[in-house]
A and B are shown apart, each in its own frame.
Chain A
Amino acid sequence: MRDAPSSGWQDARLHVVTGKGGTGKTTVAAAMALTLASGGRRTLLIEVEGRQGIAQLFDVPPLPYQERKIAVPPDGGEVRALAVDAEEALLEYLEMFYRLGGAGRMLKRLGAIDFATTIAPGLRDVLLTGKVKEAVTRTDKSHRVYDAVVLDAPPTGRIGRFLNVTAEVAGLAKVGPIKSQSEGVAALLRSPMTAVHVVTVLEDMPVQETIDAIGELEELDLPVGTVIVNMTRPPLLAGAKLTQAGLSRGLAAAGLPHDRATVTGLLSEARDQQSRLAQEGRLREELDEVGRPILELPFLADGVGLSGLFTLADALADQGVHGH
């Protein structure tokens, strides 16, 4: 069925989705979580930036620091969602190792937690990715709790630093829980269990950032999965030679007005489309040169919404994305 070269990313269980702001990475991450859950599987969709983007997308109240069922694919299965909060994660963590009791909450109120993650920004990222790793590897009666985890990650501008946890904590303690935690996270992120997908749209700046981000990820030895071109439109009128007379005859045949204003107006809309296509063609070539599998998702004229998410999930499934 698929003619795309089979790549390691198909076997990943942690899918990290990044992209420039405005490219729809949260939407794509949610669609991917749906696709991977279909057929009776269970996936977890995680966000880490405190934006509550998942809650907005699914139109539900803000997510707590707790895994909640958020959607069910048409053929069974379950998508859960979690908004990871660095402060909560640190408290959870300290609790595990040091038994702070109620003092933990007090420290939070005093800003101590904020302070700790401020003087060591890498600590925050290690805590966030540490929680992600915990979800990926969690088992219940020796069965994995999640068949796949999809992370709505920070945007392309910050993704390298976010995922490069060992370097992030290099300045921190040489021994101790965070050190071993970061090594565990780094091992997972650099293994075939992980695939980092970069979402883009066919515009200058997002494509440029996509190419830059992939270069950075490769340099860091992080496994790049696919490039996901979002909001694509059918290439209507690609390369077509349009004439006033031809269009006028067509409109007449369709029983539509074909006065001069209508014909020139429609022609100018068509010409805009053609120059957009030409630019998109150039950007596609730039993306092709990156040499990664490219997935495409359609632009949804009526906005995303829940039904739109299912449409996108189907489109991913049609291009070979599947759970296992």
Chain B
Amino acid sequence: MPRNLTPPKLDLDAILADRGIRIVVCCGAGGVGKTTTAAALALRAAERHGRRTVVLTIDPARRLAQSLGLTELDNTPRPVTGVKAEGDGQLHAMMLDMKRTFDEVVLTHTRPEKAQEIFANPFYQAMSSTFAGTQEYMAMEKLSQLSAVDVADGGWDLIVVDTPPSRSALDFLDAPRRLSKFLDSRMLRMLLAPARSGGLSVLRMMGASLNVFGRAMRKILGGQLLSDVSTFVASFDSMFGGFAERAERTYRVLQARQTAFLVVATPEQDAIREAGYFAGRLSEERMPLAGLVLNRVHGLAVPDLSAERSAGGAEALGAGGGAGAGGGKRSAGASLAAEVLLLHADLVRQVAREQRIADQFRRSHPAVPVAEVPAQPEDVHDLEGLRGIGTSLAA
């Protein structure tokens, strides 16, 4: 008997209605519609479930951002106009400003004078805007800030997060630890201040080659950079513990029962592969995967008409021999019908292919609930469009 690949249904309305869930994280490969999914869920939470919701977006498409009233990087949640909220429901939206978020972290951990010193450091300036992983880290930091205030104290009731378009969808899980590990790295301290490396016997054994390495690095990286890094580290010293602790705290928030992860994908090979990795990784990290959102799934209005019959019909009507050849002889009506049939045949093949690809995920993750969103003929860029997506998500 063939294995049944009907997965459990992902009940998104139940998640949005559950007051025990305060954080929904949308993750997945680039270009699968994470931001749209996040915005549609947040809007539905506010309008249908009466929740005081904020959606944190990273890099939304311009027109989608405009529909949420977001015109610039702005670290403050702004109310979205046009929301028809039920009860206490509200929708706010914000776009992450990673540099400003980093600055805020520095300010909370250090005296103002010291902070100014750090802000002026060229290495800090470069790192806070270009360091690989800074965006991921700051997204998680912002999430941590937004969730820090309890609902009873006027905090957000529901936070929907869109994750950065990373090289790998997993980056945002690793970035906080990587960054805090780096800032706390013994390598960093040792290279910059060899006197402090006394306790590291393995490293001392390798002293000679490290010296060669150190000299090579100095040649390659340059004295100025190393001295900027050195000053930066010195002024940052008191904050190391704080950074590591914050990274750990964010990590624990992500593991908690109040968080629901949604992996977003499209029925394409790469996106599904990434979704599979992600599902595996979340379970390794004991993070709560609520389900898979499969965007842009094509459907058939006439499922009983096969690709073969449809293409055969088109051929009978004179299509397929090239548009030009003999085109004059057949009636306009027949040629239009032939095109409709060719289109249907293509669609049948595409639907079958998408099904095959999606089944790869279902087979390897049979317990993960799935919600499918039909492909939209046009891109979504207004609240009405988002409502439509929300309805499909919850269907």
Q: Across the interface, do A303 and B353 meet the contact criterion of CB distance under 8 Å?
A: yes
Instruction: Tell me, in angstroms, the Cα distance from A120 to B250 when the chains sit together.
Output: 26
Q: Is A4 an interface residue (CB 8 A)?
A: no
Q: State how many angstroms separate the Cβ of B226 from the closest Cβ of chain A.
A: 8
Q: Is B1 an interface residue (CB 8 A)?
A: no
Residues facing B in A242-280 (CB within 8 A) are 242, 246-247, 249-251, 253-257, 261-262, 264-273, 275-276, 279
Known A-B contacts A116-B221, A172-B220; the reply to A250 vs B317 at CB < 8 A is yes
Instruction: Tell me, in angstroms, the Cα distance from A100 to B219 when the chains sit together.
Output: 14
Chain A residue at smallest Cβ distance from B229: A119
Q: Mark A108-123, 1 if CB is under 8 A from B, else 0.
A: 0011100110111101
Residues facing B in A202-227 (CB within 8 A) are 203-206, 208
Give the residues in chain B near A271, CB-CB below 8 Å.
Answer: 377
Q: Mark B364-395, 1 if CB is under 8 A from A, else 0.
A: 00000000000001110100000000000000
Give the residues in chain B near A110, CB-CB below 8 Å.
Answer: 187, 203, 206
Please tell me which one of the listed residues A100, A101, A268, A279 contacts residue B379 in the complex, with CB atoms under 8 A apart. Answer: A279
Known A-B contacts A250-B338, A261-B302; the reply to A119 vs B221 at CB < 8 A is yes
Chain B residue at smallest Cβ distance from A173: B222
Give the interface segment out of A28-36, A38-46, A233-241. A233-241
Residues of B in contact, count (CB < 8 Å): 80
Give the interface segment out of A17-25, A134-142, A183-191. A17-25
Q: Across the interface, do B209 and A107 meet the contact criterion of CB distance under 8 Å?
A: yes
Q: Is A192 an interface residue (CB 8 A)?
A: no
Known A-B contacts A21-B31, A103-B213, A256-B309; the reply to A174 vs B222 at CB < 8 A is yes
Q: State how many angstroms separate the Cβ of A111 from the closest Cβ of chain B.
A: 6
Please tell me which one of the listed residues A49, A56, A98, A265 contacts residue B167 in the complex, with CB atoms under 8 A apart. Answer: A49
Q: Mark B222-235, 1 if CB is under 8 A from A, else 0.
A: 11110011000000
Known A-B contacts A103-B209, A240-B336; the reply to A269 vs B221 at CB < 8 A is no
Instruction: Tell me, in angstroms, the Cα distance from A264 to B305 when the chains sit together.
Output: 13
Q: Across the interface, do B379 and A204 meet the contact criterion of CB distance under 8 Å?
A: yes
Residues of A in contact, count (CB < 8 Å): 76
Q: State how many angstroms separate the Cβ of B231 from the closest Cβ of chain A.
A: 13
Q: Is A106 an interface residue (CB 8 A)?
A: yes
Q: B interface, by DSSP: helix, strand, loop or mixed?
A: helix
Q: Is B333 an interface residue (CB 8 A)?
A: yes
Q: State how many angstroms separate the Cβ of B289 from the closest Cβ of chain A.
A: 22
Give the residues in chain A near B131, CB-CB below 8 Å.
Answer: 118, 121
Q: Is A177 an interface residue (CB 8 A)?
A: yes
Give the residues in chain A near B313, CB-CB below 8 Å.
Answer: 251, 254-256
Q: Across the interface, do A204 and B340 meet the contact criterion of CB distance under 8 Å?
A: no
Interface residues of A (CB under 8 A from B): 20-23, 49-51, 53, 56, 94, 97-98, 100-101, 103, 106-107, 110-112, 115-116, 118-121, 123, 154-155, 157, 161, 171-174, 176-178, 203-206, 208, 233, 236-237, 240, 242, 246-247, 249-251, 253-257, 261-262, 264-273, 275-276, 279, 301-303
Given A173-B220, A268-B301, 9 other A-B residues pairs in contact with their CB atoms under 8 A = A98-B215, A112-B187, A171-B123, A176-B219, A177-B219, A240-B336, A242-B336, A251-B313, A256-B309
5 A-B Cβ contacts within 8 A?
A: A98-B215, A171-B224, A176-B222, A249-B337, A254-B317
The 5 closest A-B pairs by CB, nearest first: A250-B337, A21-B30, A22-B31, A103-B209, A173-B222
